[in-house]
A and B are shown apart, each in its own frame.
Chain A
């Protein structure tokens, strides 16, 4: 099974929410935004360099995801160029979490997250928000804090502090 040999990468280091999120929504993909993107949606002032989403792993959603991103030439982030990586239904079914670089920027497609489970587990803890002409789901602030704590990374402690402060400020409004 041979994939593309030539990989077109973006030099942009920004997380491209304004293009990636509408692309996913317009292609009928079911997902919940987590990570730094969800933090921005809730009012965070911290930087993030990729778009993190938890996606549904049913057959239809996997197929839509494969089709939607094909034109963006997704490739494994950090992997050497020229690997026979192919973006299709079979690849997505065979894996779970994909850290990708695309022509639209870096994108993490997560089938499961620590502390949150899969898409169906996370859905009740998400809320719909209107953004860039589409409506998409973001994990709630309370759940985002839980996910960050469950990930257990030292670098997240400062982020958790900010998210907790956001929760407090929101409660004070």
Chain B
């Protein structure tokens, strides 16, 4: 809710600066407010675990994670095709 409110404030004050639906040219202070709001929900224990790994280990972990996501997507696609 807080994020929605902040985004609405930013949109209203910067409406004339939008170039298209994917670009948002907000004042830096508005950006920072939203970023700080997001930061409260960051799982820092996960980041600390990743920082213990080597760069290659981070990529191996990433690829394993993405393979898992792909399996989920495939399973969902299969389930939808059967319905």
Tally of contact residues, B, Cβ under 8 A: 33
- Nearest Cβ distance between residue A163 and chain B, in whole angstroms? 10
For B57, give the chain A residue with the smallest CB separation: A131
For A12, give the chain B residue with the smallest CB separation: B70
Within 8 A of A (CB), among B24-69: 24-26, 31, 34-36, 38-39, 42-44, 46-48, 50-51, 53, 55-56, 58-59, 62-63, 65-67, 69
Q: Interface majority SS on B: helix, strand, loop or mixed?
A: helix
Q: Is A129 an interface residue (CB 8 A)?
A: yes
Tally of contact residues, A, Cβ under 8 A: 32
Report whether A40 and B59 are in contact in the complex, using a CB–CB cutoff of 8 Å: yes
Report whether A162 and B47 are in contact in the complex, using a CB–CB cutoff of 8 Å: yes
- Nearest Cβ distance between residue B11 and chain A, in whole angstroms? 10
- Nearest Cβ distance between residue A130 and chain B, in whole angstroms? 7
Q: If A13-B73, A17-B59 touch, does A153 touch B23 (CB 8 Å cutoff)?
A: yes
A residues near B83, Cβ cutoff 8 Å? none
Report whether A15 and B66 are in contact in the complex, using a CB–CB cutoff of 8 Å: yes
Report whether A162 and B65 are in contact in the complex, using a CB–CB cutoff of 8 Å: no
Report whether A41 and B58 are in contact in the complex, using a CB–CB cutoff of 8 Å: yes
Taken together as a complex, chains A and B put the C-alpha atoms of A132 and B57 apart, in Å, by 10
A-side residues, CB < 8 A to B, are 12-15, 17-18, 40-41, 43-45, 47, 129-132, 149, 152-155, 157-158, 160-162, 164-166, 169-170, 173
B-side residues, CB < 8 A to A, are 7, 22-26, 31, 34-36, 38-39, 42-44, 46-48, 50-51, 53, 55-56, 58-59, 62-63, 65-67, 69-70, 73
Which 7 A/B pairs are nearest by Cβ-Cβ distance? Answer: A161-B38, A43-B50, A14-B66, A161-B39, A165-B42, A129-B55, A45-B46
